[in-house]
């Protein structure tokens, strides 16, 4: 029996994992500079949590959740996103009693039962951030600018920032009515999903990816024409800060996002290099969610980055950077192998990546291996070397070679740092 991974999930292995690690370490460094601290949230939550927050009529809750009963017959769901858990955590631990704002990030797998395709998986990874406590437009701007810096630091360029405001409870009902009036007479021509969206949440029609629906919604009223004074002021101030800070963005009044909890600012970052699944990151404000979860009235905003899409973009633009060992220790005979093992341990303890020979192998095959794994140096120990207490070294890049006392081997490794590297 040969097992294979389930449909829509993947193993992330070297060399791709090096790209992932690079993304994660750059992201962490930047997020820390903006005062975001890591939280580790559970992967399973009660199903109710996601229904309440993401919304019964959203695609995620309607079609994409991994939901199952546990042994005590509770309904459990593998998290499809991180915001709901972050809000639960904030309310459960009374984080509102601490200094405001509270800024968090998390990184980990999310699960959605989607049709697997390029850029779309059933287990995928996100880095998400959430900031609780500030309603100021400068908080929105901070997140967007941080996201831009993060993506640029990782090496991405040619990204488009799209931004919108979808209003609040005060102004959205008027907009919904305008949409209902606009779509009403041609409803029969829309896809069945949109016909359903019409009665449950007409804003979602703006998010439909069916070509015919995209045509039909040409000329639909723009949400930004319906914003109340407070939402309008918030949006204008945000755009003002972004312009001041040199962020280039495009306004997209159709950017409504597929989750029910959003209010006011929504944004998305896309790349034309990704094909159909072109969004690398997306987010927005969710000023009502903490209260809906039983906490105090707390404005909040967050975004999530899709790791697979980010890794795919990076793979395209930057040469592979596979790390390589500092030295390979080639040994001939059992005694030499033991001595080599000891040297390897000493050097590893000093912080070097050392590979060693295992068992019997010819010198030629060992040196070939050292080359293949791209080691800088080969350290060779045979009968003669053992007797003399020395090691033969060979710089595999410059072809220089020589002998060195066993006690002094590390100097060969540190000197190589200065030598030219191809």
Q: How far apart are CA 355 and CA 362, in angstroms?
A: 16
Cβ nearer to ligand ATP, comparing 46 with 277? 277
Q: Residues in contact with ligand ATP, total (CB under 6 A)? A: 18
Sole window of 117-125, 158-166, 311-319, 412-420 interacting with ligand ATP (rule: CB under 6 A):
117-125
Sole window of 114-122, 175-183, 217-225, 228-236 interacting with ligand ATP (rule: CB under 6 A):
114-122
Our finding on whether 309 is near ligand ATP (CB under 6 A) is yes
Our finding on whether 336 is near ligand ATP (CB under 6 A) is no
Closest CB 65 distance from ligand ATP, rounded Å: 12
Per the CB < 8 A criterion, the answer to whether 381 and 397 are in contact is no
Closest CB 121 distance from ligand ATP, rounded Å: 4
Q: Where are the beta strands (DSSP E) in 50-158?
A: 66-69, 75-78, 102-111, 123-132
Cβ nearer to ligand ATP, comparing 112 with 390? 112
Identify residues 267-286 at the interface with ligand ATP (CB under 6 A): 277, 279-282
H or E stretch covering 40 = none
Closest CB 180 distance from ligand ATP, rounded Å: 23
Cβ nearer to ligand ATP, comparing 7 with 71? 7
Sole window of 120-128, 175-183, 378-386, 393-401 interacting with ligand ATP (rule: CB under 6 A):
120-128
Closest CB 279 distance from ligand ATP, rounded Å: 4
Per the CB < 8 A criterion, the answer to whether 403 and 393 are in contact is yes
- In what side-by-side order are the strands of the sheet with 300-306? 37-38, 102-111, 123-132, 300-306, 279-285, 263-271, 159-165, 250-251
Cβ nearer to ligand ATP, comparing 129 with 379? 129
Q: Cα–Cα distances in Å, from 317 out to 132, 158, 207, 308, 420?
A: 35, 11, 30, 15, 25
In three-state secondary structure terms, 113 is coil
Q: How far apart are CA 18 and CA 318, in angstroms?
A: 12
- Whether the bond between 15 and the residue before it is cis, its omega within 30 degrees of 0, is yes
Our finding on whether 121 is near ligand ATP (CB under 6 A) is yes
Cβ nearer to ligand ATP, comparing 311 with 332? 311
Contacts of 151 (CB under 8 A, 6+ apart): 159, 269, 280, 281, 305, 310
What per-residue string of b and e applies to 352-371 under the rule 16 or more CB within 10 Å gives b?
Answer: bebbbbeeeeeeeebbebbe
Our finding on whether 304 is near ligand ATP (CB under 6 A) is yes
Site string for ligand ATP, 222-251 (x = CB under 6 A): ------------------------------
Q: How far apart are CA 13 and CA 16, in angstroms?
A: 6
Q: Give residue number: closest CB to ligand ATP.
A: 306
Our finding on whether 258 is near ligand ATP (CB under 6 A) is yes
Our finding on whether 81 is near ligand ATP (CB under 6 A) is yes
Binding interface with ligand ATP (CB under 6 A): 81, 112, 114, 119-121, 124, 126, 258, 277, 279-282, 304, 306, 308-309
């Amino acid at each position: 029996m040969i097992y294979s991974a389930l449909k829509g999930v993947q193993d992330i292995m070297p060399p791709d994992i090096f790209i992932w690690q690079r993304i994660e370490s750059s992201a962490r460094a930047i997020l820390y500079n903006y005062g975001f601290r890591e939280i580790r949230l559970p992967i399973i939550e009660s199903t109710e949590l996601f229904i309440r927050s993401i919304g019964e009529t959203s695609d995620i809750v309607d079609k994409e959740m991994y939901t199952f009963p546990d042994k005590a017959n509770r309904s459990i769901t593998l998290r499809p996103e991180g915001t709901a858990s972050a809000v639960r955590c904030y309310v459960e631990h009374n984080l509102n009693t601490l200094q405001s704002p509270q800024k968090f990030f998390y990184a980990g797998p999310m699960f959605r039962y989607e049709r697997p395709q390029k850029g779309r998986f059933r287990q995928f990874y996100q880095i998400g951030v959430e900031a609780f406590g500030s309603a100021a437009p400068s908080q929105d701007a901070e997140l967007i600018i941080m996201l831009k810096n993060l993506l640029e630091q990782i090496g991405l360029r040619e990204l488009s920032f799209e931004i919108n405001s979808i209003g609040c409870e005060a102004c959205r009902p008027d907009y919904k009515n305008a949409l209902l009036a606009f779509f009403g007479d041609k409803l029969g021509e829309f896809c069945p999903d949109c016909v359903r969206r019409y009665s449950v949440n007409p804003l979602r029609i703006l998010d439909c990816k069916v070509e015919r629906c995209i045509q039909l919604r040409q000329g639909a009223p723009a949400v930004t024409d319906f914003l109340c004074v407070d939402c309008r002021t918030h949006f204008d101030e945000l755009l003002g800060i972004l312009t001041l800070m040199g962020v280039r963005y495009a306004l997209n009044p159709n950017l409504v996002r597929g989750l029910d909890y959003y209010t006011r600012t929504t944004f998305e970052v896309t790349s034309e290099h990704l094909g159909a699944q072109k969004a690398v990151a997306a987010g927005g404000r969710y000023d009502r969610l903490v209260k809906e979860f039983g906490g105090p009235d707390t404005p909040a905003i967050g975004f999530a980055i899709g790791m697979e899409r980010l890794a795919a973009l990076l793979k395209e633009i930057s040469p592979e950077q596979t790390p390589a060992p500092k030295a390979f220790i080639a040994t001939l005979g059992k005694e030499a192998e033991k001595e080599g093992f000891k040297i390897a341990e000493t050097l590893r303890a000093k912080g070097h990546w050392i590979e060693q020979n295992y068992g019997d192998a010819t010198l030629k095959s060992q040196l070939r291996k050292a080359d293949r794994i791209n080691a800088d140096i080969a350290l060779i120990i045979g009968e003669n070397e053992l007797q003399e207490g020395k090691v033969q070294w060979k710089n595999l890049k410059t072809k220089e070679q020589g002998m060195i006392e066993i006690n002094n081997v590390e100097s060969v490794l540190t000197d190589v740092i200065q030598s030219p590297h191809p």
